[in-house]
Amino acid sequence: MTYTVAIIGTGAEPENPSRDGYAMAYHHAAGYEKLNDCTLVGCADIVRKNAEAFADEFGLDDDAVFEKHDALLEALEPDIVSICVPPAVHTEIAVDCIHSGVVKAIHCEKPMADTYGGAKLMTQEANRHGVQLTFNHQRRFSDAVRTAKELLDAGEIGDLQRIEFSSPVGLFDYGSHSFDLCNYFNDETPGKWVLGQIDYTEENVVFGSHNENQAIVHWEYTNGVHGIAASDSTGTGGPVSAFHSHNRLIGTDGVIVVGPESEDEEKEPPALRIRRDGKGWEAVNTEDGLHGWEFIDRAIADNVRCLRENEPPELRAENALNATELIFATWESSRRHGRVDLPLTIEDNPLQSMLNSGDLTPAPVGEN
């Protein structure tokens, strides 16, 4: 069987990819093109010239280009849709795709949605209508991450006790990956409670959504494993330097570090290393590190395989929702000035709500 694929939200392909744009739609499309059982049939973007440029790049005819996603769904009836728009409109577009009655699978960019209620609704509707919904936490397909999990599962550091991460951007954008990896390492165990605090002094908007400037969070899973994390978008490098890594796994008999920092700025550190109790640090050979466009290819290939074989995909919505719950629970803890017990029962985005109420008043960028 060959699946027809459409991309919603092509964006413009940036000359210099940055937090203002990474041309994710182009990377999604390239991933589908590498698969023998997928055919790209159309694209949509509210800026038509963006969609036309995308169509030129991937050899699509003019009648495959749309400005409105609902028109695309009605005309092309694609089997698979990739959603590469800002988080604020993820829920609306995903639910429309689910309710179309023709879409079998949706692969959506992260973070899930700009409210917790929206994230839950997407997951609920996909389950109700039998649509495979996944989110692009592609770092799970890094060989460094996979190897770290294999070492952990093999008991190389004993029983897992604590997971740590640091984020250089914020808990919502970059931290979406980080919380997701924590849950991956802890076998998707649900959270039990979250205690967090944030500072938001200067606007930090990424892809249309607010992210705090700095945060510290402590949480516990229902199996007793604890998590500690920090974010710092101020450029001081405080939390990152404090943790000396992107992810750290602390066990009863050792430590695994994924994405360690180097004490020598000119020296590239190994992507993965381990320290067993009573021994020094050992570098672990891996094919790649934490970042690579090829991870998107692997993620898409796994999604399509799971659709074909009717298996739960690695990046399924339920896993993304667990990570999203920890993000919004951290902001909710800051709003309440206290611990938040899970499951989380709010519907809104606590950070945005604190902005709307005037409890947070970040200055425009450059004023401080």
- Which residue did the predictor score with more confidence, 366 or 3? 3
pLDDT of residue 247: 92
pLDDT of residue 76: 98
Collapse the DSSP code of 321 into the 3-class scheme (helix H, G, I; strand E, B; otherwise coil) and give the result: helix
Alpha-helix runs per DSSP H in the chain:
24-33, 48-58, 69-76, 90-99, 116-129, 143-153, 174-185, 238-243, 294-309, 317-336, 350-357
pLDDT of residue 234: 84
Residue 82 CA, chain-centre distance (Å), reads: 14
Token code pair at residue 278:
């009573």
State the DSSP code for 289: -
pLDDT greater than 80 at residue 265: no
| pLDDT tens track for 163-217 | 999 988 899 999 999 999 999 999 999 999 999 999 999 999 988 899 999 999 9
Picking from 276, 295, 303, 362, the residue whose alpha carbon sits closest to that of residue 24 is 295
* Element housing 214 (H / E): strand 214-221
**Banded model confidence at residue 269, pLDDT cuts 50, 70, 90:** confident
pLDDT greater than 70 at residue 241: no
Domains (ranges, CATH) in the chain?
3-138+293-315 (3.40.50.720), 140-283 (3.30.360.10)
If 0-12 CB within 10 Å is exposed, 13-18 middle and 19+ buried, where does residue 216 land?
middle
C-beta of residue 189 within 8 angstroms of C-beta of residue 183: yes
| pLDDT tens track for 292-316 | 899 999 999 999 999 999 999 999 9
Calpha distance 186→171 (Å, rounded): 19
pLDDT of residue 302: 98
pLDDT of residue 13: 76
pLDDT of residue 244: 64
